[in-house]
Amino acid sequence: MSALLKIKVCGNREAENMKEVCKLKPEYVGFIFYKNSKRFVVSPDILQNDCSAKRVGVFVNATIEEIKSKVDLYDLDYIQLHGDETPDFCKKTNQIRPVFKAFQIDNNFNFNKLNYYLSACYMFLFDTTSKSYGGSGQKFDWRLLSKYKASVPFLLSGGIGPEDAVAIKALRHPMLAGIDVNSRFEDSPGVKNIELLSEFIKQIKE
């Protein structure tokens, strides 16, 4: 199953580093359009035309107009909504590009709330609860995933690091489509450690 897991490398910000990330052939690369993030993207100069990875734009409580503007400027393939977006907002956004809807998971999270989003999203993303809409570098208890019974596939996120390949490959949830990595593979915000990332992807895919 692990060889089929898709990998999303999020929080890319530097063009030269992005070029090296693309050589590793992740399925998705993420660009953060949330101004409070240390990985906020300011220019489409980062884009690599020969990159096979699909482009995912990450937004937090943005307007439809803001999202449309970035989709056009960055030629995005997917939209990730990482804030407090409603099912109705997700449905409208899903008409622009397929939506990844992120949810912050902790021991008190009610997975039943996802039922309202099932028809509005292409994929879910399960991240660790934090006050800053992600980027905590911490994991949630992956045993909680057993409570998710719906049919929308999901990406696992939140504090995934180089040492987690074995544990990820041991996960057996039928709707686990892939993993989202970011801060634990960085030398500085937005700059990925290519050696760590390369070895991790190799372990996941083997």
pTM score over 0.75:
yes
Query: CB–CB of 10/180 below 8 Å?
Result: yes
- The total number of residues shown for the chain amounts to 206
pLDDT tens for residues 83-134?
999 999 999 999 999 999 999 999 999 999 999 999 999 999 999 998 777 6
Confidence bin at 4 (pLDDT 50/70/90) = confident
Of the candidates 114, 135, 132, the one whose C-alpha atom is nearest the C-alpha of residue 123 is: 114
Instruction: Report the SS3 class of residue 127.
Output: strand
Right CATH for 2-205 from 3.40.718.10, 3.40.50.300, 3.20.20.70, 3.30.200.20: 3.20.20.70
pLDDT tens for residues 142-185?
999 999 999 999 999 999 999 999 999 999 999 999 999 999 99
In the predicted structure, residue 1 carries a pLDDT above the cut 60: no
Tell me the C-alpha distance between 179 and 154, whole Å.
8
